[in-house]
Amino acid sequence: MSVDITLNSSAGSFPPAGHYSHSTTAGGFVFISGQLPVTFDGEKKADASFEDQTRLVLKNIDACLAGAGVSRQHLVSVRVYVTDMNQWPTFNKIYGEWIGDFRPSRAVAGVAELHYGFALEVEAIALAPQA
């Protein structure tokens, strides 16, 4: 059985800090690793406001989607991890502005902490029609 797996790269993403790819295409899907509020040049924004961290994470998701040749409208599932569930309404508002009327499945999990003290992390799966 032959399995085609593509490790995607994106000019708009920061270099991975560990042994992983920001996104991988396999079996007709794009799997996006958990994205954190890190700028293109690798600056960690743990001290930024929750709103700014959210916007940066979604920008990083966009870069991963573009690197895989797909868009937000190809998303089928989004998982969100937040360290303060009281921030969920803020995330939901910004996410709604970002995604528009399109509504892929989504899950949220409150977690005790995230790497580098970040307030949120988002991972996603998108359909890769060209795969």
Q: Considering its fold, how many domains does the chain have in total?
A: 1
Q: Which domain holds residue 18?
A: 5-127
Question: Average pLDDT in the 91-117 region?
Answer: 97
- Mean pLDDT of the 87-111 span: 97
Given a cut of 70, whether residue 1 has pLDDT beyond it is no
Q: What is the mean pLDDT of the chain?
A: 93
CA distance 126 to 121: 17
Q: What's the CATH number where 91 sits?
A: 3.30.1330.40
* 75-82/120-127 β-pairing: antiparallel
Q: Tell me, what's the pLDDT at 131? A: 54
Let me know the angle formed at the C-alpha of 18 by 16 and 19, rounded to the nearest 5 degrees: 100
